[in-house]
Amino acid sequence: MLSPQLSYKQPIVVSPDGKPVALTPWLVPIVWEGTFDPMLIDLIYRQKNITIATTVFALGKYTQFLKVFLESAEQNYFVGFRVHYYVFTDQPEQVPAVKMGEEHNLTVLIVPSSNRWQDISLSRMARLEKLIESRLINEADYVFSLDVDSKFYGHWGVETLGRLVGVIHPGYYQTPREQFTYERRPESQAFIPYSEGDYYYGGAVIGGLVEDVYQLAKTCREQLDIDASKSIEAAWQEESHLNKYFLYNKPTKVLSPEYLWQDQIPHKDRVKILRFSQIIKNYADVRPNL
């Protein structure tokens, strides 16, 4: 049984007795296995005729992860619903030919290469903002932006949909707030003091209604631009600004670490089911400036 949200100054994800917490302090769901009926919720959403856009950034050597990402997505990700992948890449010839399910489509968007992995990260919000302005506002109902160096291991469906969706980072879901790697320098627009913060959200998953994700991307891009004008780069680039945005614009649905794990972290006895996880890799082999 899942525990209700306990009264703590810092929101918790797992209660002291080890049970997953089902609600945030602002009374929106934290999605864990057992908190939803997949057959019932699928039935409800099938009547809505929705389209889910999904953006993936595969630049430089990160194109090597596309095949696993797409093949595993086609087995687990919004199966039976209309999905349109938008792959941002500087190497379109490296995009693999993966068999798409019914009403699943893929569009390749060519972008310039970069000599710094940080620049790839920093440009993500701007590219997402422009894509929504130019296409998604008329082509999709929901949008998820997902990291390509990841694999789907289990069901990911409409239980994840909401106006604004964040995922709790697997490295910090049982960590005191003071140890979160928020941006701590007051001169940055991403600054969060040690006394504030809810959860530490992973930047590998951003989602929600197209118009709500647009506001998130636009605001974060503006804050990133302000920082850049002062030669400031937040500790974790767009992830730092995402956490600042979510502090003052609370997600309407929070995904548990089932929806963002890391393969190097043992998951047995920690999560009931592994749904989406970042692949083990040598960053020196894939990042251009390491």
Active site residues: 239
Count the Cβ atoms, other than its own, within 10 Å of residue 99. 8
Which residues is 109 bridged to in the sheet? 88
For CA atoms 124, 129, 130, 136, the dihedral sign is positive
Do the beta carbons of residue 83 and residue 61 sit within 8 Å? no
CA distance 159 to 35: 9
CA distance 171 to 202: 9
* The token pair that represents 183 in the structure block: 């941006």
* The token pair that represents 278 in the structure block: 């970042």
CA distance 223 to 241: 7
Do the beta carbons of residue 20 and residue 12 sit within 8 Å? no
What does 76-129 look like in DSSP terms, one character per residue? Answer: HBSTTSEEEEEEEES-GGGS------TTEEEEEEE----S-HHHHHHTHHHHHH
Q: Strand order in 276-278's β-sheet?
A: 150-152, 276-278, 261-262
* The token pair that represents 48 in the structure block: 């809505």
Q: Which amino acid is at 3?
A: S
Helices (H), 230-277: 237-248
